[in-house]
Amino acid sequence: MTTKLPRVLRRLYLGENVEAMARVLARASRKGWITYGEIDLDEAERLDLMLLLIEERLLIPKASVKSMAWEDRLARFKADEVYEMPHAIRNLIQIALEGGVWNPREAVRRYLNEIGEEKAEVILILLDRIMETVEGHRVDAETLRGLVEELGLGREINRVIAELKGGGILSPSLRDPRRLKYEANPALMRCWPSSTEASKPRLKDA
């Protein structure tokens, strides 16, 4: 592994063990998952690192207590427990490994292209607007529907949401049963450009 990923992580996650973090992320990005037992750290350090990676949605526990939503995933911190890396996050880490840049928008673009999405650019504009709207990493379903309709994707809303969920970009959040919301991936929100800066390069190492 090159030094590019640790350098980028150091600027994003101040005070964290970025060397260990980079090793785990690089390994998980190659195959799309990692087990808790594969992380070669003292138990206290390993637990702290995994809590951070889960909180940032860089890794998602495979086990679930109810649904596939992130907030329903169950972390038990056992040696054989599997943690998955979402598709868009795999791209994000690979971009950082190759070019020393944290570019979430390009990571999502690659994901959309990889699944054959013909309206990738429109969906990226949708995400630009979502990222400017979210509060506490969440956007309510009605706001999301309104943004989708503004961009002419109203008839395709179910497909669009399914693709965003499938790539690890959004996940349903039912903490308030009276109002459906979607959680935006915190790691993708880091350095996501504003709608007026979407074409500019993202955070690079020195």
Q: What is the pLDDT of residue 195?
A: 52
pTM of the shown model: 0.92
User: DSSP string spanning 8-73?
Assistant: HHHHHSTTS-HHHHHHHHHHHHHHSEEEGGG--S-HHHHHHHHHHHHHTTSSEES-BSSSSSGGGB
Would 110 be classed as within a structural domain? yes
200 has a pLDDT exceeding 60:
no
Residue 127 sits in the same domain as residue 158:
yes
Q: What is the pLDDT of residue 127?
A: 97
Q: What is the pLDDT of residue 206?
A: 45
Residue 85 sits in the same domain as residue 174:
no
79 has a pLDDT exceeding 70:
yes
Residue 107 sits in the same domain as residue 179:
yes
- Please give the residue range of the domain that contains residue 176: 103-201
Compare 205 and 186 and report the one with higher pLDDT.
186
Residue 135 sits in the same domain as residue 53:
no
User: What CATH number is attached to the domain comprising 88?
Assistant: 1.10.10.10
Residue 46 sits in the same domain as residue 125:
no
16 has a pLDDT exceeding 60:
yes
Residue 152 sits in the same domain as residue 173:
yes
Would 181 be classed as within a structural domain? yes
d(CA 182, CA 92): 21
203 has a pLDDT exceeding 90:
no
Residue 70 sits in the same domain as residue 81:
yes
Residue 136 sits in the same domain as residue 81:
no
Total tally of structural domains belonging to the chain: 2
Residue 86 sits in the same domain as residue 57:
yes
Query: Domain boundary residue among 62, 81, 101?
Result: 101
Residue 119 sits in the same domain as residue 157:
yes
Confidence bin at 40 (pLDDT 50/70/90): very high
Would 206 be classed as within a structural domain? no
